[in-house]
């Protein structure tokens, strides 16, 4: 059984992907390797942040590992909040305040196109490889729905009329940025390991 470290402290994310992995790979958390701190996300892009987190863990453990980073990219805001999505309104990482700021900035803008983008960085036996998952959509005029987290109450995926926060997790997972990026990771592992 090969151990693969997911560079996250988020147990929910960990469980979500364990069930998708091919046989013979056991997913382990940072906590199990005694890495308890938040890894600093100092990169200017999602790609840089995923690489920073993944390298941090690989340098410490020498074990195969991967890290993910996600951002909401809004067309009329030149791709913001992007890599700063979690701390858009303030350093407190407050979802409600982030949404408020986003809606305020889009007030006068007719173009509400946006996308979520997830980047996953994997390192396996010194091979570094990235996977990307994207879901296109638009920003609603006001928040609706209670499921999910982050910007879910204001993100309406293309081809739908409800926000992510009005969907069950199972439905969101059939189209989400994260699910699409993880699918590519799982595919690579199935073919190469």
Measure CA 65 to chain center.
16
Measure CA 14 to chain center.
12
Residue linked to tokens 């926000």: 163
Compute the least distance from the CB of residue 30 to ligand IMP, in Å: 14
Instruction: Kindly give the residue spans of alpha helices, DSSP state H, lying in 19-94.
Output: 46-61
Q: Which of 4, 7, 67, 86 binds ligand IMP (CB under 6 A)?
A: 86
Residue 166 interacting with ligand IMP (CB under 6 A) = no
- The residues that are catalytic are 69
Q: Please tell me the distance from the alpha carbon of residue 129 to that of residue 20, in angstroms, as a whole number.
A: 19
Backbone angles phi and psi of 80, in degrees to 5: -75, 160
Compute the least distance from the CB of residue 42 to ligand IMP, in Å: 14
Q: Which of 51, 73, 85, 121 binds ligand IMP (CB under 6 A)?
A: 85
Q: Which of 17, 57, 70, 175 binds ligand IMP (CB under 6 A)?
A: 70
For residue 155, which of 189, 92, 113, 190 has the smallest C-alpha distance?
Answer: 113
Binding range to ligand IMP, per CB under 6 A, among 17-25, 57-65, 145-153, 182-190 = 145-153
For binding to ligand IMP (CB under 6 A), which residues are involved?
Answer: 69-72, 85-86, 98, 116, 148-152, 164, 176, 178
């Amino acid at each position: 059984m090969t151990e693969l470290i997911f560079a996250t402290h988020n147990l929910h994310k960990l469980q979500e992907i364990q069930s998708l992995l091919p046989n013979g790979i056991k997913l382990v958390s940072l906590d199990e390797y005694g890495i308890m701190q938040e890894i600093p996300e100092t990169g200017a892009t999602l790609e840089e942040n995923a690489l920073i987190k993944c390298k941090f863990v690989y340098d410490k453990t020498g074990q195969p590992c991967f890290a993910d980073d996600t951002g909401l990219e809004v067309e009329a805001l030149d791709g913001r909040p992007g890599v700063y999505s979690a701390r858009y309104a303030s350093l407190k990482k407050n979802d409600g305040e982030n949404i408020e700021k986003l809606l305020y900035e889009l007030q006068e803008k007719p173009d509400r196109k946006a996308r979520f983008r997830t980047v996953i960085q994997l390192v396996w036996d010194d091979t570094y490889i990235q996977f990307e998952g994207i879901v296109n959509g638009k920003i609603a005029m006001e928040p609706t729905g209670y499921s999910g987290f982050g910007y879910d109450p204001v993100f309406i995926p293309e081809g739908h009329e409800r926000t992510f926060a009005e969907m069950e997790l199972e439905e969101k997972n059939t189209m989400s940025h994260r699910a699409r990026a993880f699918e590519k990771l799982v595919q690579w592992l199935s073919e190469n390991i």
